[in-house]
A and B are shown apart, each in its own frame.
Chain A
Amino acid sequence: MATTTMAAALGSGLRRAMEDDPRVVLLGEDIGRLGGVFRVTDGLQRDFGADRVMDTPLAEAGIMGVAVGLAYRGFRPVVEIQFDGFVYPALDQMVTQVGRLHYRTGGTVRMPVTIRIPYGGGIGAVEHHSESPEAYFAHTPGLRVVSCATPQDAHTMIRQAIACDDPVVFFEPKRRYWVKGSVEDEVLDDALPLDRARVVVEGTDVTLVAYGPLVVTARDAALAAADDGLSIEVIDLRSLSPLDLDTVETSVRKTGRLVVTHEAQRSGGLGAEIAASITERCFSLLHAAPVRVTGFDVPYPPAKLEEHFLPDLDRLLDAVDQVMGRQHSLTGWSA
């Protein structure tokens, strides 16, 4: 057991995957000598060679299409998209090729491509460096979409993603890259499967569903609410597609209240999907309508405004008050 940052845990996960399977190759911009702009691939080109850790031309559609061709040839490509906002040029190949070839070919051609995307805000960045585009991919059949929230999950989930025969879009919460945690070299078969959510705090009053960068915030909210006498169950969703609705449903059957949070814009987002699905499944058990705490329906704002865009501890607690039927921002406070 070692204590490392999430970035290092991802790096060691990639290293393990490359050791385990010689068909694993890495492609991306600046991932070789530089080790990636976040240093996640630090040292991998030195140790595995430029043939397996390839710096590519600066062209995301090209990277993604070439990864498709490599997969056709029987490789397991791992693509690094430098920042969330730069995945859009690759969107075409992801949606029309990566996510469909297995279906198109009646199961003949597999696309075991892993697409790593550092994502999310909170780092004071310029435009296109703070986006949360996960809903586009979750809406696309044939792609698995996951996000890690801890160094341990980062390490294990990246290995699971690479070993998976389906394409996996792997969202890395970049503002948590430097958060430290203990990391064990888990046996993949013993680890929680990639498509399963995890209850990270048990509770009885409210189910709070989060993923990626906001899992830490949700845990903090549970702690703060506990001081207030409220018991919050926090679920780290981990898999954004397919959704582990069974785990969420089990929790909501117990609590009768649901709050979902993500940084991504609200409309048509994952929160909507989760709220709708859980309402369908548990309508008669709900004590309150589900509440979403999300980014607003605006393009990602400039850095000096991002604190207003991003869900934070207080906004989560406000939503908890709302589902508890307490006074909250919409009712106003009377003495």
Chain B
Amino acid sequence: MLRSDVSDGRALPTTEEPPDPELVQLLAPDGTRRADPVYDAWVEDVDAERLLSLYEDMVVARRFDVEAVALQRQGQLGLWPPLLGQEAAQIGSARALRPDDFVFTSYRENGVAYCRGAAPVDLVRVWRGNALAGWDPWAIGMATPQVMIGAQTLHATGYALGCAKDGVDSVAVAYFGDGATSKGDVHEAMVFASSFAAPVVFFCQNNQWAISEPVGLQSRHPLADRALGYGIPSVRVDGNDVLAVMAATRVALDRARRGEGPSFIEAVTYRMGPHTTSDDPTRYADPEVREQWAAQDPIVRVEQHLHTRGALSEDRAQEVKEHAEAFAMELRDATYGMTAPEPLTVFDHVLVQPSAELERQRSQYAAYLAMFEGTSGGDE
């Protein structure tokens, strides 16, 4: 016989939309410096000159990002995931890192890669389809970007555990999006990081979208709250405020270096462009909302702030512009200058010691290609 205690159908408890908790913000959208009792101390050293340098990196990132989009439109790149709007989140956090820290990102973090020291050619290699990795991870302390949403958060956690085992105070940083916070990998990463007090920073760029899905579909609550369930301290920060992002990242890094374990930062920002160059946001995004976010631009507010302080001379502004232009042109030239990989390299590096079977496939294919040598139907 069925034994059961089915409810008698009372209405579900209604959940009020929780009020948007205060964001940490040090620079208001109009460039006003907001005092903060906790975070001010963490950016005390960021004088006008340093802020200008952060500004410069954001301008460079925006400029080469625009260039890459153009290159895609011209057929020179297969795809590009624009970072437009996320400059402060990326530059503010990446600039807080030490060279011996190690970064595990997703595909959109080209501003982070720039700060880590990736060369222009390294930023486009993958998107042209020439390689599966752009740069040497060891050279710039940054892993090959991850396409599998969320997978890299576990890698960062493992790397962080390794740092702790090695007795060094380097930190691993995992960058991921709002969509990624629904992935099991991200949750398992937080479980492991918390259990072992791993020196890892979970840096979530909440750009409000996972392709066409709004963040509300991933979570009914602020994403930062997810970390609390794992005993991981978290903070929501204005992701369009480079100072606030830097301050929050420094706090998290410091906690990790002192052996106090992981932190979670939700940088609240907005994806001003399409998901990738293949996407069409007019099918799902409200242009009015985009306009509201445009008024919160991460670069404009620093510009205004610097102007108010009289710290951005016309000459200096021009220099920044030229530097950005030069980097973008390098990226353009590098893209055009890239030659297609040799056909037989498709067989390279599957195993450290190649298998006999794969070597057989390689030589058979080489023989096959050789048939076409000298015939008009061949390559090029």
Residues of A within 8 A of B (CB): 25, 51, 54, 56-57, 59, 61-62, 64-75, 77, 92-93, 96-97, 100-110, 141-142, 144, 164-166, 195, 241-243, 245-246
- Determine if B148 and A96 form an interchain contact, defined as CB atoms under 8 angstroms apart: yes
- Determine if B151 and A141 form an interchain contact, defined as CB atoms under 8 angstroms apart: no
Interface contacts beyond A75-B165, A243-B357: sample of 7 additional A-B pairs, CB < 8 Å, sorted by A: A62-B188, A73-B163, A96-B148, A97-B148, A102-B351, A109-B143, A241-B355
Least Cβ distance of B14 to chain A in Å?
Answer: 34
Contacts A70-B159, A70-B161, A73-B166 hold; do A102 and B349 have CB atoms under 8 A apart?
yes
Q: Which of B137-175 contact A (CB under 8 A)?
A: 137-138, 143-144, 148, 151, 153-163, 165-166, 172
Contacts A70-B162, A72-B155, A104-B132 hold; do A57 and B188 have CB atoms under 8 A apart?
yes
Bound form: Cα–Cα A234–B163 in Å: 48
Name 11 interchain pairs, CB-CB below 8 A, sorted by A: A62-B191, A65-B158, A68-B158, A73-B163, A92-B148, A92-B185, A96-B151, A102-B352, A104-B132, A107-B348, A142-B350
Majority secondary structure of chain A interface residues (helix, strand, loop or mixed): mixed
Q: Which residues of A contact B163 (CB under 8 A)?
A: 73
Q: Is B326 an interface residue (CB 8 A)?
A: no
Q: Which residue of B lies closest to A112 (CB)?
A: B352
Contacts A73-B162, A104-B133 hold; do A62 and B189 have CB atoms under 8 A apart?
yes
- Determine if A59 and B188 form an interchain contact, defined as CB atoms under 8 angstroms apart: yes
Bound form: Cα–Cα A92–B186 in Å: 13
Q: Which residue of B lies closest to A96 (CB)?
A: B148
Interface residue tally of chain B, by bracket?
Answer: 35 or more
Contact of B102 among A56, A72, A144, A195 (CB under 8 A): A72
Q: Which residue of B lies closest to A143 (CB)?
A: B351
Q: Which residue of A lies closest to B104 (CB)?
A: A69
Chain B 290-305 interface 0/1 with A at a Cβ cutoff of 8 Å (1 = within):
0000000000000000
Q: Which residues of A contact B189 (CB under 8 A)?
A: 62, 65-66
Q: Which residue of A lies closest to B195 (CB)?
A: A57
Q: Which residue of A lies closest to B193 (CB)?
A: A66
Contact of B132 among A25, A56, A67, A103 (CB under 8 A): A103
Contact of B159 among A59, A69, A96, A100 (CB under 8 A): A69
- Determine if B137 and A105 form an interchain contact, defined as CB atoms under 8 angstroms apart: yes
- Determine if B195 and A246 form an interchain contact, defined as CB atoms under 8 angstroms apart: no
Bound form: Cα–Cα A109–B146 in Å: 14
Chain B 319-361 interface 0/1 with A at a Cβ cutoff of 8 Å (1 = within):
0000000000000000000000000000011111101111000
Chain B 185-205 interface 0/1 with A at a Cβ cutoff of 8 Å (1 = within):
100110110011000000000
- Determine if A69 and B352 form an interchain contact, defined as CB atoms under 8 angstroms apart: no
